[in-house]
Amino acid sequence: MIKNAQIHFNDAGTPVADSFDDVYFSNDDGLAESHYVFYTQNHIDERLQNHGKDRFVIAETGFGTGLNFLNAWYHFNQRSKDACVNQLHFVSFEKYPIHIDDLVKALQAWPTLAPLAEKLCQQYPMALEGCHRLEFDDGQVTLDLWFGDIHDNLPQLSFEQAGFVDAWFLDGFAPSKNPDMWQQSLFDAMANMSRDNATLATFTAAGFVRRGLQDAGFDCKKVKGFGRKREMVIGTLNRANKNYNTPAYYSTTPRKLESIAIIGGGIASSCLLYHLSKRNLGATLFCQDDALAKGASHNRQGALYPNLQADHTPSSELYAHSFLYAKRLYQHIASTGYHFAHDWCGVLLQSVNEAKRAQHQNLAEKATWPHDLIHAVDAKQASVIANTTLPYGGLYIPEAGWLNPAEVTQAVFDAAHALKAVSTYFNTDIQKLEKTESGWLLHGEDNTFGPFSDVFVCGGEHSDRFEQTKHIPLHGVRGQVSHIDAGEESQKLNTVLCHKGYFTPAMNGQHCMGATFEKNSKSREVKAEDNAVNRAQLERFYKDTDLAASLGEITSAKAAVRSCFNDHLPMLGQVQHNDEFCSAFANLRKGKHYGFGKPALPYQGIHIVTGFGARGLCSAPLATEHLVATLLGEARPLSERVHQAIHPARLLVRDLIRSKI
Ligand code: SAM
Residue closest via CA to ligand 1's atom 21 equals 95
pTM equals 0.98
Mean pLDDT of 290-316: 92
As annotated, the residues of the chain forming the CATH 3.40.50.150 domain(s) are: 7-237
The residue that leads in pLDDT, 514 or 309, is 309
**Does the pLDDT value for residue 129 go beyond 80?**
yes
Tell whether ligand 1 has an atom less than 6 A from the beta carbon of residue 62.
Answer: yes
User: Distance of CA 582 to CAs 209, 357, 577, Å?
Assistant: 44, 43, 9
Q: Rounded mean pLDDT of 38-57?
A: 96
- For 115-139, b where at least 16 C-beta lie within 10 A, e where not — what string? ebbebbeebbbbbbbbbbbbbbeeb
Question: How far is the CA of 592 from the CAs of 578, 586, 644, 647, in angstroms?
Answer: 19, 9, 18, 20
Say how many C-beta atoms besides its own lie within 10 A of residue 237's C-beta: 25
Q: What percent of the chain has pLDDT over 70?
A: 100
Task: Quick: pLDDT tens for 210-231.
Answer: 999 999 999 999 999 999 899 9
The three-state secondary structure class of 285 is strand
In ligand 1, the atom with minimum distance to the C-alpha of 150 is 24
Reported as a single tens digit per residue, the pLDDT across 554-569 is: 999 999 999 999 999 9
Q: Give the pLDDT mean for 255-271.
A: 97
Which of 260, 310, 258, 320 shows the shortest CA–CA distance to 286? 260
Q: How far is the CA of 145 from the centre of ligand 1 (A)?
A: 12
Q: Would you state the pLDDT for residue 520?
A: 77
The CATH number of the structural domain formed by 302-403+480-505+517-549 is 3.30.9.10
- pLDDT tens by residue, 237-246: 999 999 999 9
* Residue 620 region by backbone torsions, left for phi larger than 0, else alpha for psi between -120 and 50, else beta: alpha
Tell me the pLDDT band of 161, cut-offs 50, 70 and 90: confident
Alpha carbons 623 and 445: distance in angstroms, whole number: 31
152 touches ligand 1 (CB under 6 Å): no
**SS3 (DSSP) at 138:** helix
CATH of 258-295+407-474+567-657, one of 3.40.109.10, 3.90.550.10, 3.50.50.60, 3.60.20.30: 3.50.50.60
pLDDT of residue 522: 76
Rounded mean pLDDT, 445-458:
97
- According to the model, what pLDDT value does residue 524 have? 86
- At position 149, the amino acid (one-letter code) is D
Of 9, 27, 61, 108, the residue with max ligand 1 atoms within 8 A of its CB, to mutate for a pocket test, comes to 61
Span 96-119, average pLDDT: 97
CA dihedral of 581, 654, 314, 570, whole degrees rounded to 10: 60
CA–CA separation, 52 vs 197, rounded Å? Answer: 12
Do residues 304 and 326 lie in contact, with contact meaning Cβ atoms separated by under 8 Å?
yes
CB 485 within 8 A of CB 553: yes
**Where along the chain do the CATH 3.30.9.10 domains lie?**
302-403+480-505+517-549
- CA distances, 158 to each of 131, 352, 388, 498 (Å): 11, 39, 46, 34
Type of residue numbered 129: E
- Verify whether ligand 1 is closer than 6 Å to residue 64 (CB atom): yes
> With contact defined as beta carbons under 8 Å apart, do 503 and 489 qualify?
no
* Span(s) in the chain for CATH 3.50.50.60: 258-295+407-474+567-657
* Overall average pLDDT of the 305-319 stretch: 98
Q: Whose CA is nearest to atom 5 of ligand 1?
A: 65
pLDDT tens across 341-387, in order? 999 999 999 999 999 999 999 999 999 999 999 999 999 999 999 99
Q: Does pLDDT of 296 surpass 80?
A: no
User: Which DSSP category does 613 fall into?
Assistant: T
The confidence score (pLDDT) of residue 271 equals: 98
Rounded distance from Cα 30 to ligand 1 centre (Å): 15
Nearest CA to ligand 1 atom 14: 64
Is 25 close to ligand 1, i.e. is its CB under 6 Å away?
yes
- Confidence at residue 159, expressed as pLDDT on a 0 to 100 scale: 96
> What single letter denotes the amino acid at residue 323?
F
Distance CA 325, CA 144 (A): 11
CA–CA distance, 559 with 265 (Å, rounded to integer):
17
Three-state helix/strand/coil letters over 100-111:
HHHHHHHHCCCH
Instruction: Quickly list H helices, 51-113.
Output: 67-77, 100-107
149 lines ligand 1 (CB under 6 A): yes
Ligand 1 pocket: which of 94, 157, 182, 209 to mutate (most atoms <8 Å of CB)?
94
Is the bond preceding 473 in cis, omega lying within 30 degrees of 0? no
Alpha-carbon separation of residue 219 from 39, 181, 222, 234, 529 (angstroms): 18, 21, 11, 8, 72
- How far from the centroid of its chain's Cα atoms is residue 307's Cα? 14
Architecture, CATH, for domain 7-237 = 3-Layer(aba) Sandwich (3.40)
- What does the pLDDT read at residue 523? 82
Tell me the average pLDDT across 278-305.
92
Pairing verdict, β 87-94 and 55-61: parallel
Ligand 1 atom closest to the Cα of residue 69 is: 4
Q: Is 178's C-beta closer than 6 angstroms to any atom of ligand 1? A: yes
What are the pLDDT digits (tens) for 465-498? Answer: 999 999 999 999 999 999 999 999 999 999 999 9
pLDDT confidence of 519, banded at 50, 70, 90? confident
Residue closest via CA to ligand 1's atom 11 equals 62
User: 3-class DSSP state for residue 470?
Assistant: coil
The confidence band for 297, taking pLDDT boundaries of 50, 70 and 90, is low
- 403-427 average pLDDT score: 97
Q: How far is the CA of 201 from the centre of ligand 1 (A)?
A: 15
Q: Give the residues across from 514 on adjacent strands.
A: 502
Average pLDDT, the chain: 96
Measure Cα distances from 494 to 372, 391, 393, 456, 506 in Å.
19, 16, 15, 39, 9
CB 563 within 8 Å of CB 612 = yes
**DSSP SS3 for 413:** helix
Nearest one of 648, 639, 656 to 245, comparing CA atoms: 639
Task: Give the pLDDT confidence score for residue 113 in this predicted structure.
Answer: 98
Q: Is the pLDDT of residue 151 over 80?
A: yes
Terminal-to-terminal C-alpha distance of the chain = 39
- In angstroms, rounded to a whole number, what is the distance separating the alpha carbons of residues 562 and 237? 48
Residue 167 has pLDDT above 70, yes or no: yes
- Residue 65 CB less than 6 A away from ligand 1: yes
SS (H, E, C) 541-602: HCCCCHHHHCCCCEEEEEEEEEEECCCCCCEEEECCCHHHHHHHCHHHHHCCCCCCCCCCCC
- Nearest atom in ligand 1 to 169's CA: 1
